[in-house]
Amino acid sequence: MDKLCFVSVEFPDDPNVVGRTYWYLCKADGAEAGDKVDAPLGRHNRIQRGVIRQVLYAEGENSPYPWYLIKDIAKLIKE
């Protein structure tokens, strides 16, 4: 089975969650720490700009957070 790309994302511009990181599944190739992403945040899944802090490749059963709670990155932004 191929490994999936999980990314830990921080949202430094949101004062409600600054300093916290959230795990997402990233289906785009080439994600690296420091890249920016657009990702759904909160129970209303509002798309916000965040920064990848960590990248982890693992099989689904070894995801860093409960599988059924992980959301997908909406857009990877390489600068």
The closest of 24, 27, 71 to 52, measured between CA atoms, is: 24
Domain residues of the chain, as ranges? Answer: 4-77
pLDDT at 76: 98
Predicted pLDDT at 67: 84
Strands in 75-77's sheet, in edge-to-edge order, are: 71-72, 21-25, 4-10, 46-58, 36-41, 75-77
- Fold of the domain built from segment(s) 4-77: GIY-YIG endonuclease (3.40.1440)
pLDDT at residue number 77:
97
pLDDT, residue 60, reads 85
Global pTM value: 0.93
pLDDT averaged per 10 residues in sequence order, the chain, 79 residues: 92 94 96 98 96 95 90 95
